[in-house]
């Protein structure tokens, strides 16, 4: 089975060799495998005539064409196709009452499409592009399976769904008013007060939506989804912007909801997915081309297979290399010179005070910054970057700083490639950039896209690249994992660490993803305090010492998976949780 895909965003008007008034994305080679219809400026690839020669891929100057060979048996499991040579989704997940079903895979591979089909907002066409989509052939395809009964109810509109969207930062543009008004409008179960208390959003319930932080917006969106009366609840990336404690609270609330409802989640924080989901469907394929959903696995087995990048049952490798974690020993004293030496710093706002203890950052050191939301992590980074001036103390250093802010905007009018060449022309020509930044962050697929049209994850990758390409002594990266899928997070963490090691530069990385921090950090800076009132920062400490201090404040313990060495959250009150808390080892025990 040969699948041909045309990326219409990358397709550009290049005149074909035949004398005609239309444009094709490739120059013809005398073959009819690539054609266009009348009154169309986009080519179509004949999958019947395509032999996978690769000529069209090589001739297309914009890399708009993808030819993929797939197993023949998948053809019978095609669920939906977006037009000729468009994206295709194979197989669907089945919601089950009493279980949280997770979807794990790259962005742009069909997870949201699966949500749309299961919620009834999209009728699958089974690859039939000639007839109007209807549920009858879909039900016939799934007759005699568990999926049939669920899809029959969806087709008959007997299933009511509730969805927590992915991009919560867009909610203030859709609703203007106070949080309480919004929640009261959607509270069909009469549990608003209980959910508000559980998710700890009481202090902001009388605020306008536009004044909320990212973490507050996320918890408000989760609350709005939970208080609706529904049969199936869909949560799209519920942990974004939340600190580790808030993520575990959200996980517990969703688990309790699943006891009487059907729940599906898309989650890229592997530690949270590990503690939240009961079963996980892995998804593999190629972004914008096709996506295949595997059969469900237990959450531990699914994550380990995902990190390995190889499906033994299907004999398919979906990643070139395995993602490995290391159980590193406690850090010895640094023997490199000190880059930044700062004393006690104080910053006073009318309603908030931040105090940080003296510390040092060495040349070549990557320091992770962890702690609850609204305790001053971003404020401290801005002080180091020179964006804010401390009220007491000073940072008496003369270093060049590259800063990637927490909230990024795609307000550049032009393509990604134009942005990079206009700001980082010298670095764009270097082999180091191409090998260490462009390839692992998969930037080439974004070059011809307009910056203001990028998704959150695409914009994040571009922002990370811009920061790492800057000529600086220290790189300050605020939440670089936000909106990235699990694979992109691991690649971004390794990219940041590799760039620092090979250039001898230093970095300060603020993030809430424990996997990300574990991969990228040499040391840890810990923040605590009363959110939005006062914050306190100390460190950097060694990785193990810092994580122990942070997790003790959150009352959370981690262990290492015996196969992959990845961190895993212990269930609260479990034997291992009690033993580690008693010994003071909150991060992991060797």
Q: What is the mean pLDDT of residues 247-258?
A: 92
Residue 16 scores a pLDDT above 70: no
For the chain, the structural domain boundaries read 1-69, 75-317, 338-554, 555-590
The CATH code of domain 338-554 reads: 3.40.50.300
Please tell me which residue, 527 or 45, carries the higher pLDDT value: 527
83's tokens: 């037009």
Q: Under DSSP, is residue 547 helix (H, G, I), strand (E, B) or coil?
A: helix
pLDDT at residue number 21: 46
Q: What is the mean pLDDT of residues 99-104?
A: 94
Lowest mean pLDDT among 41-45, 75-79, 491-495: 41-45
pLDDT at residue number 460: 93
pLDDT tens, position by position, 393-409: 887 667 888 988 877 77
pLDDT tens, position by position, 145-177: 999 999 999 999 999 999 998 888 788 888 888
Residue 22 scores a pLDDT above 50: no
SS (H, E, C) 295-339: CCEEHHHHHHHHHHCEECCCCEECCCCCCCCCCCCCCCCCCCCEE
pLDDT at residue number 147: 93
The answer to whether domain 75-317 and domain 338-554 are alike in fold is yes
Q: What are phi and psi of 467, to 5 degrees?
A: -65, -45
Cβ atoms of 366 and 521 closer than 8 Å: yes
Give the residue among 410, 519, 525 at the shortest CA–CA distance from 462: 410
Radius of gyration (C-alpha) of the chain in whole angstroms: 25
SS (H, E, C) 203-228: HHCCCEHHHCCHHHHHHHHHHHHHCC
**In angstroms, rounded to a whole number, what is the distance separating the alpha carbons of residues 459 and 488?**
13
Separation in Å, CA 43 to CA 2, 22, 49, 345: 17, 9, 14, 61
**In angstroms, rounded to a whole number, what is the distance separating the alpha carbons of residues 211 and 216?**
9
**In angstroms, rounded to a whole number, what is the distance separating the alpha carbons of residues 188 and 224?**
10
pLDDT tens, position by position, 301-332: 999 999 999 988 888 888 888 888 776 655 55
pLDDT tens, position by position, 498-556: 999 999 999 999 998 888 998 899 999 999 998 888 999 998 998 888 989 988 888 88
Q: Of the ranges 47-51, 73-77, 147-151, which is most confident?
A: 147-151
| pLDDT mean across residues, the chain | 86
pLDDT tens, position by position, 272-299: 999 899 999 999 988 888 999 999 999 9
pLDDT at residue number 323: 83
Q: What are phi and psi of 98, to 5 degrees?
A: 90, 0
Question: 75-317 is classed in which CATH architecture?
Answer: 3-Layer(aba) Sandwich (3.40)
> Please, what is the Cα angle at 292 between 286 and 298, to 5 degrees?
120
Separation in Å, CA 416 to CA 193, 233, 402, 465, 476: 45, 36, 19, 11, 22
Cβ atoms of 384 and 474 closer than 8 Å: yes
pLDDT at residue number 36: 66
**In angstroms, rounded to a whole number, what is the distance separating the alpha carbons of residues 201 and 196?**
5
412's tokens: 């550049």
Percent of the chain whose pLDDT exceeds 70 = 91
User: Residue 69 forms beta bridges with which residues?
Assistant: 2
Please tell me which residue, 225 or 456, carries the higher pLDDT value: 225
Percent of the chain whose pLDDT exceeds 90 = 43
Lowest mean pLDDT among 191-200, 216-225, 359-368, 377-386: 377-386
pLDDT at residue number 107: 85
pLDDT tens, position by position, 416-444: 999 999 999 999 988 999 899 999 998 98
């Amino acid at each position: 089975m040969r699948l041909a895909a045309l990326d219409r965003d990358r397709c550009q008007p290049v005149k074909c060799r035949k004398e005609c008034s239309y444009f094709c994305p490739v120059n013809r080679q005398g073959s009819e495998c690539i054609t266009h219809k009348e009154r169309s400026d986009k080519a179509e690839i004949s999958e019947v005539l395509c032999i996978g020669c690769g000529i069209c891929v090589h001739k297309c100057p914009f890399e708009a064409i993808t030819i993929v060979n797939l197993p023949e048996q998948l053809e019978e499991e095609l669920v939906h196709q977006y037009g000729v040579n468009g994206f295709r989704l194979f197989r669907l997940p089945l919601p089950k009452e009493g279980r949280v079903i997770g979807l794990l895979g790259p962005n742009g591979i069909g997870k949201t499409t699966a949500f749309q089909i299961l919620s009834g907002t999209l009728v699958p066409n089974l690859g039939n592009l000639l007839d109007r989509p209807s549920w009858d052939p879909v039900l016939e395809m799934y007759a005699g399976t568990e999926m049939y009964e669920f899809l029959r109810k969806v087709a008959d509109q007997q299933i009511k769904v509730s969805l927590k969207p992915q991009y919560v930062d867009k909610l203030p543009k859709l609703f203007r008013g106070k949080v309480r008004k919004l929640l009261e409008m959607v509270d069909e179960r009469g549990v608003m007060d209980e959910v508000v208390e559980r998710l700890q959003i009481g202090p902001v319930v009388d605020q306008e939506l536009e004044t909320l932080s990212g973490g507050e917006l996320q918890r408000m969106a989760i609350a709005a989804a939970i208080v609706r009366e529904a049969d199936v609840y869909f949560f799209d990336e519920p942990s974004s912007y939340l600190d580790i404690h808030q993520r575990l609270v959200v996980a517990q609330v969703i688990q309790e909801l699943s006891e009487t409802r059907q729940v599906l989640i898309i989650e890229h924080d592997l530690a949270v997915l590990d503690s939240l989901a009961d079963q996980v469907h892995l998804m593999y394929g190629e972004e914008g081309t096709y996506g295949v959903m595997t059969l469900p696995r237990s959450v531990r087995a699914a994550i380990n297979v995902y990190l390995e990048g190889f499906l033994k049952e299907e004999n398919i490798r979906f990643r070139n290399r395995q993602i490995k974690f290391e159980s590193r020993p406690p850090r010895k004293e640094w023997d490199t010179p000190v880059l930044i030496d700062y004393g006690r710093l104080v910053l006073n706002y009318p309603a908030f005070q931040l105090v940080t203890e003296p510390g040092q950052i060495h040349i070549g050191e990557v320091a992770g910054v962890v702690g609850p939301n609204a305790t001053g992590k971003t404020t401290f980074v801005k002080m180091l970057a020179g964006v804010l001036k401390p009220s007491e103390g000073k940072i008496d250093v003369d270093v060049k700083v590259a800063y990637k802010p927490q909230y990024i905007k795609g307000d550049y009018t032009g393509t990604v490639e134009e942005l990079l060449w206009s700001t980082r022309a010298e670095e764009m020509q270097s082999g180091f950039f191409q090998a260490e930044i462009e390839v692992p962050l998969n930037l080439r697929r974004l070059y011809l896209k307009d910056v203001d049209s990028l998704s959150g994850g695409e914009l994040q990758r571009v922002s990370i690249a811009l920061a790492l390409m800057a000529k600086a002594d220290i790189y300050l990266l605020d939440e670089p994992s936000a909106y990235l899928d699990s694979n992109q997070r691991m690649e971004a963490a390794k990219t940041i660490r590799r760039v620092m090691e090979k250039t001898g530069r230093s970095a300060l990385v603020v993030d809430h993803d424990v996997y990300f921090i574990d991969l990228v950090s040499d040391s840890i800076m810990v923040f605590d305090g009363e959110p939005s009132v006062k914050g306190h920062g100390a460190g950097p400490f060694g990785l193990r010492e810092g994580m122990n201090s942070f997790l003790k404040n959150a009352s959370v313990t981690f262990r290492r998976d015996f196969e992959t060495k990845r961190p895993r959250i212990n269930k609260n009150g479990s034997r291992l949780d009690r033993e580690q808390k008693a010994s003071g080892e909150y991060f992991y025990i060797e």
